[in-house]
């Protein structure tokens, strides 16, 4: 007898196993199909082989550590970078931590897996991280108001053979600058992107030789700036195309509270690519006022995906063709190149970073506010359709014992697992006690075993 497949679960003697409603016989006892749950929760996808139930809390002395970016080494160890003392009177320091594949802190790195670095007498913050083929770690951010790149040895010590005592800065006199994205090229050169607070604010792109000296073949001085006419431009993320051209994504704003996604593509010499968009720049407003782009990825067919938020406080993805034109095949709405996501019970949703899986599926680090404290990810197929089998609208949320939490970054491991980085606030009194946190999701999980259920 065949049962109608009304549930992904079946009950065996002492076991409940998700096997797509298949009927089995076990020692003469018929397993009866029985609906137990039709919607998995975020905790169902947490990888139990990582940390405590799929989550790692990184204990660091000081106050309020913020995790801003993650990278993975060839050996599977995860690097997380950020800063401490956020919202405190003390100055910020760069914080770098390394965890083993099982989530334990790597005691061979820094002090018990953690490195805290002060590069100046003022605030220092690490916003981006990349790993070189030789295992050295490249960090980019802001130090005393100047965009910087620093390099660490594999044991966590600053590499004094890089730049000046392990770091280099790129700035204009009396103007603040910062890097939010960094990448290591195949030849060892380093590319960093961000913003510079000129009037108006502009995109900032820099490239360095492997020893930290400016690569003057880019722009003549090792860096270039790009303005969006009539707008301030803020760069948030970079991506390197297979041909070596660099994408810098962010957003632009005007004094009239108008603006939207902004994307620039650069040739190898730092000039804007005239074959991309209009003079090398693409801008797009998804609504009536300002939209914010925070991440950029390039799919295998060279289409470009940007993630961020609309002014209406919905998570947003947009896709562009290789020449910068809008790809109106993206998402479910004909003639539109973008998708937006809301989450019931939350006032605001932000796709703060995105990553691609091997099949070009898109995973967005999802920051939620105005609702129950949680972190999450949202998963789309390569063409922008939400993977609803994973959760409503493709959203997977994870609570943290009721504590406040937020996320900034994520990555896809070579095995397809997703590492999400952020922080958990363990002070519920209205003050702040942020600890860096990592969550790892295994999206391949389709079955869970529950005990003890018996049907005879």
Taking only the tens place, the pLDDT of each residue in 421-452 is: 999 998 766 667 889 999 999 999 754 433 33
Among 323, 292, 295, smallest CA distance to 310 is for 292
Average pLDDT over residues 103-114: 97
30 pLDDT above the threshold of 70: no
- Using pLDDT thresholds of 50, 70 and 90, give the confidence band for residue 35: very low
Query: For residues 377 and 311, what is the distance between their CA atoms, to the nearest angstrom?
Result: 20
Residue 442, pLDDT score: 97
167 pLDDT above the threshold of 90: yes
Across 10-24, 258-272, 416-430, 442-456, the highest mean pLDDT is recorded for 258-272
Picking from 33-42, 71-80, 230-239, 408-417, which range would have the lowest pLDDT averaged per residue?
A: 33-42
Residue 177, pLDDT score: 96
Residue 259, pLDDT score: 87
Among 367, 361, 363, 307, smallest CA distance to 343 is for 367
Residue 2, pLDDT score: 32
Do residues 340 and 314 touch, judged by C-beta distance below 8 A? yes
Residue 235, pLDDT score: 98
Query: For residues 315 and 154, what is the distance between their CA atoms, to the nearest angstrom?
Result: 37
Q: Decide which of 175 and 42 is more confident.
A: 175
28 pLDDT above the threshold of 50: no
Q: CA angle, 351 as apex, 345 and 354 as ends, to 5°?
A: 140
Which tokens go with 271?
């000039």
Indicate the pTM of the whole model.
0.88
- Using pLDDT thresholds of 50, 70 and 90, give the confidence band for residue 273: very high
Q: Is 301 exposed, middle or buried (0-12, 13-18, 19+ CB in 10 A)?
A: exposed
- Using pLDDT thresholds of 50, 70 and 90, give the confidence band for residue 26: very low
196 pLDDT above the threshold of 80: yes
Distant-in-sequence, close-in-space partners of 303: CB < 8 Å, separation ≥ 6 = 319, 320, 321, 322, 327
40 pLDDT above the threshold of 80: no
Average pLDDT over residues 279-298: 93
Query: For residues 181 and 192, what is the distance between their CA atoms, to the nearest angstrom?
Result: 6
| DSSP letters spanning 64-129 | --EEEEEEE-TTS-EEEEEES-TTSSSPP-EEEEEE-TTS-B-TTTTBTTEEEE--SSS-EEEEEE
Residue 401, pLDDT score: 87
164 pLDDT above the threshold of 60: yes
- Using pLDDT thresholds of 50, 70 and 90, give the confidence band for residue 257: confident
Residue 23, pLDDT score: 34
Residue 24, pLDDT score: 35
Name the average pLDDT for the chain. 87
Which tokens go with 167?
């770091």
Distance of CA 444 to the CA centre of its chain: 20
- Give the helix ranges, DSSP H, for 276-343: none
Average pLDDT over residues 303-309: 98
Average pLDDT over residues 107-126: 92
Among 318, 249, 327, smallest CA distance to 281 is for 249
Which tokens go with 121?
């007498």
Residue 429, pLDDT score: 62
Taking only the tens place, the pLDDT of each residue in 377-423 is: 999 999 999 999 999 999 999 999 889 999 999 999 999 999 999 99
| DSSP letters spanning 24-76 | -EETTEEPPB----SS--HHHHB-TTSTBTTEEEE--SSS--EEEEEEE-TTS
Residue 394, pLDDT score: 96
Calculate what percentage of the chain has a pLDDT beyond 70: 85
Calculate what percentage of the chain has a pLDDT beyond 90: 74
Judged by phi (left if over 0) then psi (alpha if -120 to 50, else beta), residue 347 lies in alpha
- Using pLDDT thresholds of 50, 70 and 90, give the confidence band for residue 31: very low
13 pLDDT above the threshold of 80: no
Picking from 10-14, 107-111, 171-175, which range would have the lowest pLDDT averaged per residue?
A: 10-14
């Amino acid at each position: 007898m065949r049962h109608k497949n009304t549930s992904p679960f079946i009950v065996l003697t002492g076991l409940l196993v998700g096997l797509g409603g298949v009927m089995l016989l076990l020692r003469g006892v018929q397993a009866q199909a029985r609906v137990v749950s039709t919607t998995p929760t975020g905790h169902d996808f947490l990888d139990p082989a990582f940390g405590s139930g799929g989550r790692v809390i990184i204990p660091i002395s000081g106050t309020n550590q913020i995790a801003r970016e993650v990278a993975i080494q060839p050996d599977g160890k995860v690097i997380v970078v950020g800063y401490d003392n956020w919202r405190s009177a003390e100055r910020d320091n760069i914080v770098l931590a390394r965890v083993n594949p099982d989530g334990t802190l790597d005691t061979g790195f820094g002090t018990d897996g953690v490195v805290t670095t002060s590069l100046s007498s003022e605030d220092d913050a690490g916003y981006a991280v990349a790993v070189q083929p030789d295992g050295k770690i490249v960090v980019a951010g802001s130090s005393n108001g100047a965009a910087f790149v620093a390099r660490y040895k594999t044991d966590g010590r600053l590499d004094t053979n890089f730049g000046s005592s392990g770091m280099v800065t790129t700035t204009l006199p009396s103007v603040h600058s910062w890097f939010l994205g960094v990448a290591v090229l195949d030849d060892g050169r380093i590319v960093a992107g961000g913003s510079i607070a000129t009037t108006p604010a502009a995109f900032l792109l820099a490239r360095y030789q492997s020893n930290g000296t400016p690569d003057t073949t880019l722009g003549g001085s090792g860096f270039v700036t790009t303005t969006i006419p009539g707008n301030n431009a803020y760069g948030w993320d970079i991506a390197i195309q297979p041909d070596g051209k660099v994408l810098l994504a962010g957003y632009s704003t005007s004094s009239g509270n108008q603006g939207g996604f902004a994307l620039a593509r650069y040739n190898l010499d730092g000039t804007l690519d005239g074959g991309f968009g209009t003079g090398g720049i693409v801008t797009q407003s998804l609504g009536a006022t300002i939209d914010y782009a925070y991440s950029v990825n390039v799919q295998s067919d060279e289409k470009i995906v940007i993630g961020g938020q609309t002014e209406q406080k919905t998570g947003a993805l947009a896709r562009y063709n290789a020449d910068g034109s809008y790809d109106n095949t993206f998402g479910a709405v004909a003639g539109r190149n973008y998708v937006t996501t809301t989450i019931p019970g939350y006032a605001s949703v932000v796709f703060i970073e995105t990553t691609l899986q091997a099949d070009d599926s898109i995973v967005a680090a999802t920051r939620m506010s105005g609702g129950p404290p949680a972190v999450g990810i949202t998963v789309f197929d390569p063409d922008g359709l939400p993977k609803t089998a994973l959760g409503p609208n493709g959203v997977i949320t994870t609570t943290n014992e009721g504590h406040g939490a937020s996320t900034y970054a994520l990555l896809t491991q070579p095995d397809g697992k997703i590492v999400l980085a952020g922080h958990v606030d363990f002070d519920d009194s209205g003050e702040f006690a942020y600890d860096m946190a990592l969550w790892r999701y295994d999206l391949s999980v389709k079955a869970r075993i529950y005990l003890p259920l018996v049907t005879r």
